[in-house]
Amino acid sequence: MLEHAFKGSKNYWLLLGFWGIIIAMGAGAYAVQLRDGLTITGMSRDVSWGFYISQFTFMVGVAASAVMVVLPYYLHDHKAFAKTVILGEFVAVPAVLTCMLFIFVDMGQPARVLNVILHPTLHSVMFWDMSVLMGYLVLNLLIGTITLDCERKGKHYPHWLKFFIYLSIPWAVSIHTVTAFLYAGLEGRPFWMTAILAPRFLASAFATGPSLLIILAVIVRKISKFDPGEKAIRTLATIVTYSMLINLFFFLVEAFTSIYSDMPHHLHAFEYMFVGLHENGVTYDVLVPWMRAGMVFSFITGFLMLFPGIRWNLKVVPYVCVFIICGTWIEKGLGLVITGFIPSTLGHITEYVPTAPELMVTFGIYAIGAFVLTVLYKIIIGVRERRAGYGADAQ
Amino acid sequence: MDDTRRKFLKKAGYASLGISCALPLLDAKLLAMSEETGTHEAAAKKQLAMVIDIKKCQNKQLVDAAANACHTVHNVPTITDAKGNINKEEEVKWIWTEKFANTFPEQVHARLERSILDEDVVVLCNHCSRPPCVRVCPTQATWKRDTDGIVMMDMHRCIGCRYCMAACPYGARSFNWNEPRKFLEKGRGIVGEYPTRTKGVVEKCTFCADRLSDGLEPACVEAANKVPGGKDALVFGDLSDPNSKVNLILNKKHTICRKVGLGTGPNIYYII
Ligand code: SF4
């Protein structure tokens, strides 16, 4: 099975090479960070988590959303997903990998990472987060490779695997819930301390992940002879639509409580995101254009997806999905973490902007994810094409 | 009623029975927790605390002396930028001042006397009774010491994840964004025995745990007392001892704590 990863067209190698270059640049930037410390980032005393932890949070969502293909297929026997399930599981693998890398590069003393395992601390949500992420990575690797290998040999996957497949469903929900609990359990941060955070995370994740899957499925369809099926893509589009609407609803619920109650601590965060804060004649509003754009993306795409003519049009829907991902990324990968620190617990306003090396490390990690994704998808395509009797590798 | 439904209902019944059996346990736990938060805590356990007289601490010389003493004995660097100005974003500090309005946001109202709003209040780690920083730390690099209630810090175990900084509602924690020794060498130099830190770890006030074990008072308290007019500006002692100086003051004076509504149980008290 692995041989498919090592044989490929020129384009395949070019793509891997492209990711490789970005990875090398990221590694270079990380080397500087290792030498000089996290001072090379835009983070500060007041905004002590920044881009890395934001991307981690966003990618946990992408990872968790594999459940949106696993659940309909294995629990509801939704046949259309027969060929898509593996695409979802093999998105989850690199997604979890990037999550772990984002946490790792955020650490001040990465060499001591094993301390988390050497001194397991049950009352720390971070310990749980690390455990469930590890478990999720193993589950998806296990399920994905075994089912694909059995498919290659034309067998049914072994019966005992069912247990792990079922286990992976609540597990997927747990990774994003625990990630939300990282934030929602902090009494000093009113912006995060809301019970809707975990549900909101899940809803936006289930809009983002399947959107990504739609895009990937359409690409796979174009460049190879393996077709995940129009029906599967349509089902995914329906899932995206519902999740997006629920996500927007949750956002409005949160906004209502904060704005209508008019309590300063809750209000400030929303003010900071959408209009900017003013103090001593200075305006703090770097996030404002982003957040507004994100809202426009989310509400317009949510509205567009309501129309079957758009939702089920394979020529249009991938583009809508791009904007859905942009919208949810701005919300979770940009606004959520940073705004929690503004104003600080001492009422100071320090803004945060990522630095160039910080962005390079971030791109490097995303490129590692993309690299692994490319290889895994290449394997899927190879196996599928051979089964379908096309023999040689496309792409 | 078909069989599967009956089975399901039966199972659901057992499940709810199980939950209701567990409820009394939960109840007991909640009760215990709510008792903990009671106004007069059981005095049995030793808990070190500090009383700060805000009016006396309006003396800038006193506050500087206290902060300097602390930062010198603990080798806390002064982080500066290329031009030699204090780098506010990466500052490391254990004890410093904040405006009254920022220290006690719940106490501020529209008619509060201007001079009070502008008062500088000495702030440091509160050595909370239920410290959120300890709760979240994934490696127990910060923990609450049983013997005296100090919230300790092991800078060799800290992985630098900064979860504690997100969790502390008082901004009491500093991260070494940069190599601290570099700045110590540029500044006052490395003084005494206290170990310097490496980059990438979090640090904060430890109530001078090291000095206490030598029978000394915290450095800030000692320094403040030496400044003219600084007598009892900072008072340190054990809350479990009814005759300790802190208790004598707390029993007589009107004192407040920071953000009590959060339930962290701060142990720094302020005479307003
Ligand atoms: S003040 Fe902050 S750092 Fe100190 S014990 Fe309380 S939560 Fe922890």
Output the pLDDT for position A152.
87
Output the pLDDT for position A392.
46
Mean pLDDT of A312-327: 95
For ligand 1, the distance from its centroid to the CA atom of residue B126, given in whole angstroms, is: 5
User: Do B92 and B161 have their domain in common?
Assistant: yes
Output the pLDDT for position A386.
83
CATH number at residue B218: 3.30.70.20
For B6-60, what is each residue's pLDDT tens digit? 565 656 655 555 555 555 555 555 555 554 544 454 456 899 999 999 999 999 9
Closest chain B residue to the Cα of A190, Cα to Cα: B169
Output the pLDDT for position B27.
56
DSSP H or E run through A357:
helix A356-387
User: Do B60 and B2 have their domain in common?
Assistant: no
Quick one: CATH architecture of A2-388? Up-down Bundle (1.20)
Considering only CB atoms, which chain B residues are within 8 Å of A189?
166, 169
Least confidently predicted of B10-24, B93-107, B125-139? B10-24
User: Do B58 and B191 have their domain in common?
Assistant: yes
Using CA positions, which residue lies closest to atom 7 of ligand 1?
B168
Q: Report how many domains make up chain B.
A: 2
Ligand 1 near B205 CB (within 6 A) = no
Considering only CB atoms, which chain A residues are within 8 Å of B126?
none
In the sheet where B234-238 sits, what is the strand order?
B234-238, B48-53, B268-271, B255-256
Q: For the purposes of burial, counting CB atoms within 10 Å of the CB of B244, is it exposed (0-12), middle (13-18) or buried (19 or more)?
A: middle
Q: Are B170 and B259 in contact (CB under 8 A)?
A: yes
Q: Output the six-digit token pair for A204.
A: 């936006």
ipTM of predicted assembly, 2 dp: 0.92
What is the pLDDT confidence band of residue A365, given thresholds at 50, 70 and 90? Answer: very high
Q: What are phi and psi of B29, to 5 degrees?
A: -65, -45
Determine the structural domain holding residue B11 and report its residue range: 1-40
User: Do B49 and B34 have their domain in common?
Assistant: no
Kindly determine whether residue B91 and residue A45, on different chains, have CB atoms separated by under 8 Å.
yes
Kindly determine whether residue B175 and residue A37, on different chains, have CB atoms separated by under 8 Å.
no
User: Do B229 and B252 have their domain in common?
Assistant: yes
pLDDT averaged over chain A? 93
Of B89, B105, B132, the CB nearest to A350: B89
Closest chain B residue to the Cα of A115, Cα to Cα: B139
How far is B64 from B153, CA to CA, in rounded Å?
Answer: 24
Least confidently predicted of A73-82, A247-256, B38-47, B69-78? B38-47
Q: Which residues contact B214 (CB under 8 A, 6 or more apart)?
A: none
User: Do B13 and B139 have their domain in common?
Assistant: no
Output the pLDDT for position B13.
58
Q: Are B46 and B127 in contact (CB under 8 A)?
A: no
Considering only CB atoms, which chain B residues are within 8 Å of A110?
159
The residue among A170, A182, A197, A181 whose CA lies nearest residue A66 is: A170
User: Do B262 and B212 have their domain in common?
Assistant: yes
Least confidently predicted of A227-236, A361-370, B198-207? A227-236
What is the pLDDT confidence band of residue A158, given thresholds at 50, 70 and 90? Answer: very high
Q: Output the six-digit token pair for A31.
A: 């080397």
What is the pLDDT confidence band of residue A120, given thresholds at 50, 70 and 90? Answer: very high
B1 has a pLDDT exceeding 80: no
Considering only CB atoms, which chain B residues are within 8 Å of A48?
162, 165-166, 175
User: What is the distance in angstroms between the Cα of B134 and the nearest Cα belonging to chain A?
Assistant: 8
Kindly determine whether residue A108 and residue B176, on different chains, have CB atoms separated by under 8 Å.
yes
Of A41, A187, A344, the CB nearest to B262: A187
Helix, strand, or coil here: B53? Answer: strand
Kindly determine whether residue A188 and residue B262, on different chains, have CB atoms separated by under 8 Å.
yes
Least confidently predicted of A76-80, B117-121, B256-260? A76-80
How far is A267 from A258, CA to CA, in rounded Å?
Answer: 6
A83 has a pLDDT exceeding 60: yes
User: Do B191 and B74 have their domain in common?
Assistant: yes
Ligand 1 near B121 CB (within 6 A) = no
For ligand 1, the distance from its centroid to the CA atom of residue B127, given in whole angstroms, is: 6
Question: Between A and B, how many residue pairs show a Cβ–Cβ distance under 8 A?
Answer: 137
Least confidently predicted of A148-162, A346-360, B6-20, B128-142? B6-20
For A202-255, what is each residue's pLDDT tens digit? 999 999 999 999 999 999 999 888 888 899 999 999 999 999 999 999 999 999
Q: Are B233 and B95 in contact (CB under 8 A)?
A: no
Ligand 1 atom with the smallest distance to the CA of B167 is 7
Q: Output the six-digit token pair for A116.
A: 């988390």
Higher-pLDDT residue of A8 and B233 is B233
B237 has a pLDDT exceeding 80: yes
Output the pLDDT for position A9.
86
Using CA positions, which residue lies closest to atom 8 of ligand 1?
B133
How far is A322 from A219, CA to CA, in rounded Å?
Answer: 13
Q: Are A33 and A52 in contact (CB under 8 A)?
A: no
Ligand 1 near B94 CB (within 6 A) = no
Domain extent listing, chain A: 2-388
A48 has a pLDDT exceeding 80: yes
DSSP H or E run through A228:
none
For B179-191, what is each residue's pLDDT tens digit? 999 999 988 889 8
How far is A193 from A195, CA to CA, in rounded Å?
Answer: 7
User: Do B68 and B156 have their domain in common?
Assistant: yes
User: Do B250 and B200 have their domain in common?
Assistant: yes
Q: How many CB atoms lie within 10 A of CB B196?
A: 17
Q: Could you give the residue ranges of the DSSP H alpha helices within chain B?
A: 3-36, 60-73, 100-103, 114-117, 132-136, 163-167, 180-186, 209-213, 219-226, 245-252
CB of A46 less than 8 A from some CB of B: yes
For ligand 1, the distance from its centroid to the CA atom of residue B226, given in whole angstroms, is: 28
User: Do B6 and B62 have their domain in common?
Assistant: no
How much of chain B, in percent, has pLDDT values that exceed 70? 84
Q: What are phi and psi of B139, to 5 degrees?
A: -125, 5
Helix, strand, or coil here: B240? Answer: coil
